[in-house]
Structure 1
Amino acid sequence: MNKSQLIQFLRENEIWAKRTMGQNFLVKQKILPKIVAAAELTPTDTVVEIGPGLGILTEELAKKAGKVIAIEKDKRLAEALESRITNHELWREKV
């Protein structure tokens, strides 16, 4: 998802970043492979991602790790994430 797609998705779903929750959305696509490579993931790894937002990083992690557990406390973002990430766990709760 590039920056313009992200903005469009947020507008269509009436989602905005809540500063009180420290929310930020990753928009620089070039950084994703660097983050995933730094994690040195294998198909046997389980990743726990706190605050996955819309799942932009989550999608990339899921390509490398055997299992991704995403924990999102913002209901709006969790619902959006559920529609995009279907083969990994999503927890909607405060941790």
Structure 2
Amino acid sequence: GQLRVSEEWRDFIVQAYQKGNRGQRATNRAQIAKLVASRAAELGESEYPSRQSVYRILAPEIKRTEQKQKRRSIGWQGESLKLTTKAEIDIVVEYSN
């Protein structure tokens, strides 16, 4: 199903996560959930995204960030070499000339 969270809240959650993870700072998804609750209190809203909804909204963003940081070639591990393509296909090299 679709998320029943307004576009405004979705934008706020993603922007807060991106701002919080600039440079050397690291903001996790639980901190964003608390930020959403405090923002709702500021605005006087009783209906705001739950912690689980915040996690669901941030899941693709977190995956994208992790994929950027992941190394695609970790080098030879013993007798084999394992490479990962951009499409996340694993290639195992058994020998090389």
Q: Normalising by the residue count of structure 1, what TM-score does the alignment of the two structures yield? A: 0.27
Higher RCO (CA-CA < 8 Å; seq separation 6+): 1
Q: Normalising by the residue count of structure 2, what TM-score does the alignment of the two structures yield? A: 0.27
Q: Normalized per residue, which structure has more helix?
A: 2
